[in-house]
């Protein structure tokens, strides 16, 4: 009398990883995500390693997690993986402020974002 297993959210040749509560704006995170979209995973890891953006370390961790999920959970070949999708979403925003001149209040917003990376196995053409 157990419940049925949840269906997979991705295709049989895909794996994904998701990072939530990244302390950066979605716009800045999307610049790094656009850098790796469509690339082979080893090239994407190299690009993230040598990127000067602060958030690229967190994106690299998420990509490594997606690769590990593909290898361990879905038995995919790591050498044939590409970054199929890398998309960014908004998360909560901390509202802070600072007193300004003449009794006014300067609004400071501290946005958080989330990142989803899907890797897909492709057959190499010989």
* Domain definitions of the chain by residue range: 14-121
Residue 66: helix, strand or coil by DSSP? helix
Per-residue b or e along 27-36, where b marks 16 or more CB atoms closer than 10 Å to that residue's CB = ebbbebbebb
- Write down the pLDDT at residue 31: 97
pTM of the model: 0.90
- According to DSSP H, which parts of the chain are helical? 26-36, 41-49, 56-72
Question: CATH classification of 14-121 is 3.90.470.10, yes or no?
Answer: yes
User: CA–CA separation, 70 vs 79, rounded Å?
Assistant: 11
For the segment 12-21, what is each residue's pLDDT rounded down to a tens digit?
Answer: 999 999 999 9
- Asked if residues 115 and 23 have their Cβ atoms less than 8 Å apart, the reply is no
- Write down the pLDDT at residue 125: 64
Res. 126 pLDDT band, cuts 50 70 90: low
Mean pLDDT score, 61-73: 96
């Amino acid at each position: 009398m157990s419940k049925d297993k949840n269906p997979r959210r991705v295709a049989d040749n895909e794996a994904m990883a998701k990072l939530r509560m990244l302390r950066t704006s979605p716009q800045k995170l999307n610049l790094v995500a656009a850098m790796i979209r469509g690339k082979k995973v080893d090239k994407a890891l190299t690009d993230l390693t040598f990127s000067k953006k602060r958030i690229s370390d967190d994106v690299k961790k998420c990509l490594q997690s997606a690769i590990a999920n593909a290898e361990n959970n879905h038995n995919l070949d790591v050498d044939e993986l590409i970054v199929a999708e890398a998309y960014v979403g908004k998360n909560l925003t901390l509202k802070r402020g600072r007193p300004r001149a003449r009794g006014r209040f300067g609004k400071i917003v501290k946005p958080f974002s989330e990142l989803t990376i899907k890797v897909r196995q492709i057959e190499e053409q010989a």
